[in-house]
Amino acid sequence: MYGMRGAGMSASAAVLGVALLVAGCSSGGDGDGDKNGDAGAKITQQPKESDPFWVNPDGSAARQVAAYEKSGKDGDAEQIRKIAEQPTGEWIGPENPEAEAKGFTEAADKAGRTALLVLYNIPHRDCGQYSQGGAADGDAYRGWIDGVAAGIGDRAATVILEPDAILHLVDGCTPDEFHEERYDLLKGAVTKLKSLKNTKVYLDAGNAGWGRPDQIYQPLQWAGIAQADGFAVNVSNFYSTKDSVAYGKELSAKVGGKHFVIDTSRNGNGPYKGGDEDERWCNPPGRALGDTPTTRTADPLVDAYLWVKRPGESDGTCKGGPKAGAWWASYALKLAKASTP
């Protein structure tokens, strides 16, 4: 729900990213940017002082740049480069958490950067909607978290923990019988990840459109916010940075002044206000890229603007989009063209 990505990159692709990083290039692609080719687009990292997060040189956007360049569509390639050369969240898949986490963090470490990881595998995920799934049960989830932690090790990582997991406890989407276990799993995940030497953890805390911080602050406490570095707002959503800061500050005041991060990946034009209200979050038209990732936010409570959602990946099979998490080149191009240079 709310536009989450349902699956992470395969372990082999994660490991491949290390080799590509060392080589200084990424693989190319066909006209849709989804298949590997022999000519790669040169993708550069952002200045570490303002944006310490790793740019994946073999991400979907990078492959799309290569595909457009190969077919002579240089203008479109430059538009997609707006996405390809920004760090985005790497969503760890359910099958090989240790290998994926290791691959991404090793690649980031070799580049002198921090990996941005998103963990989205809680049991009974997404209430049966576009990104439904998750670990089979609590024990499976604990084992998965152990794998992620083993893969990260002592390398630097920033983790966005379980988008929507707390919100769906509060809004009644997740049945009551699963609430106690979910709080236990989230708190255990925070404890495990914070035992690592160089890992920061931010619990997902909804968005400005939800607008009920009075109802979510206590669930955040039950989920382990006291031990976490803070919380994340606007993940995979479209609310403006200004509104997200206001929402985050109101919530921060209720959880001991915790810091927060904002997903600005697609909030350049704010939220969509047309169509079916229940699906305005899903591949809305007319949106734009938002503030580029940075730790220089000019607000002491906001640790970073991040692109947690990878711009150009579908929210689900709505409005002509492919399955959740699949690369959608035409939508990516619209986002890029609608954004300011």
**What six digits make up the tokens of 121?**
């595998």
76 is catalytic: no
Q: How far, in Å, CA of 234 to CA of 244, rounded? A: 7
Q: Which one of 58, 126, 204, 263 is the catalytic residue?
A: 126
126 is catalytic: yes
Residue with tokens 């909607």: 129
Using alpha carbons, select from 260, 258, 244, 262 the residue that is nearest to residue 306: 262
Q: How far, in Å, CA of 42 to CA of 27, rounded? A: 10
Q: Which one of 164, 229, 243, 263 is the catalytic residue?
A: 164
**Would you mind telling me the total number of residues written for the chain in this entry?**
341
In Å, how far are 61, 278, 300 from 275, measured between CA atoms?
Answer: 28, 9, 37
Task: Name 290's Cβ contacts closer than 8 Å, sequence gap at least 6.
Answer: 241, 264, 265, 266, 267, 268, 305, 339
Q: State the Cα torsion 206-208-211-216 to the nearest 10°.
A: 30
Beta bridge partners, 306, equal 263
Enter the DSSP assignment of 302. Answer: E
Count CB-CB contacts under 10 A for residue 34. 15
Q: How far, in Å, CA of 208 to CA of 247, rounded? A: 5
Task: Name 149's Cβ contacts closer than 8 Å, sequence gap at least 6.
Answer: 101, 192, 193, 195, 196
**What six digits make up the tokens of 149?**
């932690």
Count CB-CB contacts under 10 A for residue 320. 10
Q: 124: burial class by Cβ within 10 Å (0-12, 13-18, 19+)? A: buried
Q: How many CA atoms lie within 13 A of 176 on its CB side?
A: 0
Show which residues are catalytic.
126, 164, 315
